[in-house]
Amino acid sequence: MFKKILVANRGEIAVRAFRAAFEIGAKTVAVFPYEDRNSVHRLKADEAYEINAEGSPVRAYLSVSEMIRIAKESGADAIYPGYGFLSENPDLAREAVRNGIAFVGPAPEILELAGDKVNAKAAAIRANVPVLASTASSDDSKALLNQAKEIGFPLFVKAVAGGGGRGMRKVDQESDLPEALSQAMSEAESAFGDARVFLEQAVIRPRHIEVQILADNHGNIIHLHERDCSIQRRNQKVIEIAPAPLLDDKLRQQLFVDAVAFAKEIGYQNAGTVEFLIETSGPNTGKHVFIEMNPRIQVEHTVTEEVTDVDLVQSQLRIAAGATLQEIGLSQENIKPHGFALQCRITT
């Protein structure tokens, strides 16, 4: 097991990671910009170091060079990214490995693939997982306008590097598409530094179901059942439920099969979530499609922990240290969900 873990994050997920590290006998390192000098997460770690980055405090948590500097200065042998900030950044994973520090998450090339929704969809097709009709990614509005008729309306404009509903617009008619493209590209450039978007067929009345995955570094993959994240506001999840209520069991099992198949196709490692939409009206009622994979722990991981009794964060650390799922004590047969868990987020 690692001797010292730097948590490249703040707030709840940082405190959560410190607890998991303490329980497996590892020391912990917190990072913080000047503005967070009195934050709770700084006080919960064994050591704390200030991030020397200019600009906003948010930008400080996005500094790969500072995370590596502090990891080396503190003697940390692993970096845990949590969710948000650098959690899906392949540069942090790559620089960590280059400096002899373990990255608690997928390999850089997997982060790059999963972070590009178009390439992820191509991988889903190779794994025989159903997907929606879509265009290639581009930052050329004219090219996308010309391809829109092939998709049909309504459709979604989606940022290639998007997340949390940012860089995403629903378009019901062709006349609204130019403005939606302009807004989505501008938002994507500002939020992710990547203005590329693509067009994707819209599911009119979807359920949003996601499957939790754990994969070790030895090719073993299991699922930890599903969460229902259908209740959303501005394309951001508000309520997450495990297990998904009133879901046909045959469909539930197929989602598990497809989630594992996708993870195997891309050689996934560590914790991740494969997300699907299910049509609830019209001629395609009951059909599901892959939309993306989040290559990290998610905010709503706690509802899965409640119904499976599996500590996902601790599992992430053990897997990154080289343990197999069997050594952790996990197999598909012994993951039996019980009870019911719900999480509600406050959004603005």
> How many CB atoms neighbour CB 306 within 10 A?
17
Q: Look at strands 4-7 and 78-80 and give their pairing.
A: parallel
Would you mind telling me the total number of residues written for the chain in this entry?
Answer: 348
- Decide if 312 contacts 105 (C-beta within 8 A): no
Considering only CA atoms, which of 231, 235, 238, 220 is closest in space to residue 325?
A: 220
Q: Is 37 a residue of the active site?
A: no
CA distances from 171 to 150, 158, 252 (A): 14, 11, 30
Max Cα-Cα span within the chain: 60
Residue 2 CA: distances (Å) to CA of 5, 30, 65, 93, 316: 7, 16, 21, 16, 12
Amino acid occupying residue 246: L
Which is catalytic among the residues 19, 296, 318, 345? 296
Q: How far is CA 314 from each of CA 106, 157, 325, rounded to the nearest angstrom?
A: 15, 37, 12
Is the distance from CB of 321 to CB of 104 less than 8 angstroms? no
Active-site residues, by number, are 296
